[in-house]
Structure 1
């Protein structure tokens, strides 16, 4: 398989970068990281050329350029079907796509109220009312998946869905969101996951300063 390049942003702050990076690791893709600082004007111009949405990640592989996290996931599933990014069972596969699409396209209040910041920890945090339905919906999704497929990951073994919800686990930890025992255990599974530990260690080494963007990245 040809070597790839994955354009990513901050490992501490960028939830989309984390998702794309996890997916590449899950697919056993041989790739180089191309880190960019989205708050740098020259880098912003570069990203505008790379992607009209000014968002990362972006995967370059074997002559293919693909951005948007779910598009990357589907591409990786095509080139590495043996990686099991999607469940083998047709019903489970449809379910996995549905819950992955839901986090990809929704939960705007949660993203605004609980931005990803791996290095930060709050002993308590008051979640504004608009974000509470998002938190509750994620709990429902996790409970349904863990009950249906038996854990420890959402569909038993790591899939696209776990890559999509891994940043949510970090948000819940950062902002001290109270979780039922089985949901807390799921987050512990994500935090103990080898690629997640590697990403977190790198995030903790990043500088603290960041300039906020007008879009989530």
Structure 2
């Protein structure tokens, strides 16, 4: 089983199934496909049915799209508690994951994930305030009911879906409640996340489209080392 991923420092969608695979100790290999540089789009078009990452390859089966990959893993390894066991919690976890897939556009646009960076104060809170409020309501409510440290007590695919949000909160020092800050700490303490982070910090590549100083015009494209 192989997972095709993008640059670890930036690729939020790649991180999510990778965390599920690593945390639940499912044997796999990964391969990084660059998200910048000469010919990167053409390479992705050859390796991925959608021209995007991640892609899971299991024998002759090729599965694009993060949620589809996670659902396949849950079906393939039913003994692994990838989703909560209880019916209502499982429905809530899947709903939270689906919302992450379809919503929070302002947070994605104005605060791209950048694990190597520290950019406190560089995000205009007014542009992401609505998304932060929704995160407080959604994640705060789930954490209050579960008692933490993760959304449903133990780590599940729902937490994998929100792990990049935790990274954004830390990178940009976004103003969130103590409850959400505690959740950020729980994500960063997860061994699987630590493994991904360590690999991301070693990457030499820069993707200008995900660098806030380039996005906001402080630095010219192609000048970040």
User: Structure 2 length as normaliser, TM-score?
Assistant: 0.88
Counterpart position of 1:113: 110
CA displacement at 1:105 relative to structure 2: 1.2
Q: Give unpaired runs (5+ residues) of structure 2.
A: 211-225
What do residues 46-103 of structure 1 show as CA deviations (whole Å, max 9, x unaligned)? 3123335422110001322111000001000001122211111100000000000000
1:83 aligns with one of 60, 80, 84: 80
- CA shift digits 1:92-147 (9 cap, x unpaired): 00000000000011111110000000111123234253321011111211111101
- Is structure 2 residue 120 aligned with structure 1 residue 123? yes
What pairs up with 1:1-150 in 2 under 5 angstroms? 4-150=1-147
Q: Which moved more, 1:121-130 or 1:176-185?
A: 121-130
**Counterpart contact for 2:74–2:82, Cα < 8 Å:** yes
Q: CA RMSD for the aligned pairs? A: 1.6
Give how far 1:39 is off: 1.5
Any conservation in 2 of the 1:28–1:83 contact (CA below 8 Å)?
no
For the Cα contact (< 8 Å) 1:27–1:77, is it kept in 2?
no
Range with bigger deviation, 21-30 or 173-182: 21-30
- Matched residues, number: 210
Name the counterpart of 1:167.
164
Could you state the TM-score of these two structures normalised by the residue count of structure 1? 0.91
Runs of 4+ with deviation above 4 angstroms? none
